[in-house]
Chains A and B, each alone.
Chain A
Amino acid sequence: MNCSDVHLTLGAEPSATSPELEAHLRECAACAQFRAEMQRLDEKIRRALTIDIPAHEFRAPRLPATYTLTKTQDRSRARSWALAASVLLAVAVVLVMWGALPSHSLAADVVSHVVSETVDHPLGEPVDENAVRSVMERAGLRLDPINPSIVFIRTCFIRGRLVPHFMVRTADGMATVMILPDEHVKAVERFEGSGYKGLLIPAAKTGSIALLSRANVDLEHYAGEIRRAVHSLPEKSGS
């Protein structure tokens, strides 16, 4: 467990504990301080969220005149069958989609991540070079300047690793790129899911690269350019 893992764990669950975590905290004063800060902050968050709600009398909601307990149970049974049918259908859809995704778990994880990702700032201007450098360096990578420009970049947590995730604005629309240093594919793989079309491409020394878009973007064209622009950094000693 390294400092990044500790920060993610404690930032998400300040009261988290495990033998691995405790061992790291005994050795790392900065992370121990981070935990203390997060626990103090969490107590303040709890107090802040506990706003005063005047307790006033609850009045029972008006119920239909025909309401009976038996009817509710019948409806519950009907709902149970409907739910069971829905679950079977969902499983079938997932299985079909799963089969359509090459390296299925990787492609599915990439799509799932992108679908759930929050982009919380305007995608207007190209992001600062330093931000790009910082994100790439965290993954042990370097990115030469590319065209189209990067309008969003952050480090993301996927499949247990921190990876660069960025968006580029092309003439045909936005495309998302994820550099996956620890994931390897043997050849270019195409996938579709949740409205996205995407590619997984192998990249020498830098694992693989995922590109996907909802727009009609020529992903192959940009894949080549991005693959040429990504380089591994020499490993730092002592890190």
Chain B
Amino acid sequence: MIQSRPDESGEPLGDAFGQLLESVRPELVRFAYWLARDRSVAEDVVQEAMLRAWRARAELKDAAAARHWLLTIVRREHARLYERKRLVTVDVTEVIAREDIALARAGDGELLDLRRAILRLPDDYREPLVMQVLGGYSTAEIAKEMNLSIPAVLTRLFRARNRLREIYGLTPGLDCEPGHDKGLEGTP
């Protein structure tokens, strides 16, 4: 276990666990943002997740596994938020308009288009993609977390990327040569 002292004051923590949370917090918020598509929701999710992590810190035996452990807590907290609040489907156009300034920060136009496209991905495609690319989860880990089969995860990841290919004018073109006509369909 990583030792830390409970702090009732709300002051920044100076010891190991507090420093750990402090150091990964931006990464957790980033991860939560791409799940929730809303900066303030992401902040709430991370705050709740940190509280849970703090309470459960005895379960963390290996500091090297902390990042993955915390990302998983964030992901579960985000899922809980949906269950509790029954959040309705967001208006993606509104989200993009609201988030454009933040999304455009330190990014060129091409990157902004890609970010918008990622925001437009259905949750079921965006979540595994974010878990894989940003969280570093393996396909098996995503399957376990999302309660899906591995082929289902592979299909969702494939379809997510297939949609993003369109941004760069890349066709899904799965036929690699005449006569090979068994390509996966992208989306209907």
Contacts and interface: CB of A to CB of B under 8 A. Distances in A.
A73 interface: yes
Interface size on B, as a range, is: 35 or more
A30 B158 CA distance: 17
A113 B133 contact: no
A37 interface: yes
Given A37-B165, A48-B114, A50-B30, A157 B133 contact: no
A63 B30 contact: no
A120 B163 CA distance: 12
B158 A58 contact: no
Interface string A149-168: 00011111110101000000
B133 A59 contact: no
Contacts of B102: 51-52
Contact of A41 (B47, B153, B164): B164
Contacts of B176: 3, 6-7, 28, 30-31, 34
Contacts of A237: 179
Contacts of A158: 151
B16 interface: no
Interface residues of A, number: 71
B39 to A, nearest CB: 9
B10 A59 contact: yes
A49 B30 contact: yes
A9 B105 CA distance: 33
Contacts of B103: 51
A4 B174 contact: yes
Contacts of A189: none
Interface string B173-184: 111110111111
Interface stretch (B61-69, B78-86, B90-98, B117-125): B117-125
Interface string A11-34: 111100000000000001011001
A14 B33 CA distance: 24
B154 A157 contact: yes
B130 interface: yes
Interface string B157-168: 111011011001
Contacts of B118: 45, 48-49
B10 A137 contact: no
A124 interface: no
A166 B42 CA distance: 36
B55 A138 contact: no
B88 interface: no
A51 B148 CA distance: 28
Given A67-B6, A154-B185, A157-B184, A48 B58 contact: no
B56 to A, nearest CB: 8
A57 interface: yes
B94 to A, nearest CB: 18
Contact of A152 (B34, B129, B156, B188): B188
B158 A7 contact: yes
A84 interface: no
A127 B188 contact: yes
Contacts of B76: none
Contact of A112 (B149, B153, B164): B149
Interface string B1-40: 0000011111111000010011001110110011000000
Interface string B115-140: 10010001011000110111000010
Interface of A: 2-4, 6-9, 11-14, 28, 30-31, 34, 37-38, 41-42, 44-55, 57-63, 65, 67, 69, 72-73, 76, 109, 112-113, 116, 118, 120-121, 127, 131, 134-135, 137-139, 152-158, 160, 162, 236-239
Nearest 6 A-B pairs (CB), nearest first?
A11-B158, A30-B176, A61-B51, A3-B176, A12-B157, A58-B22
Given A37-B165, A49-B133, A76-B58, 15 more contacts: A7-B184, A11-B157, A11-B184, A12-B154, A13-B132, A37-B170, A44-B110, A45-B129, A48-B115, A49-B30, A54-B26, A116-B149, A131-B188, A153-B188, A162-B184
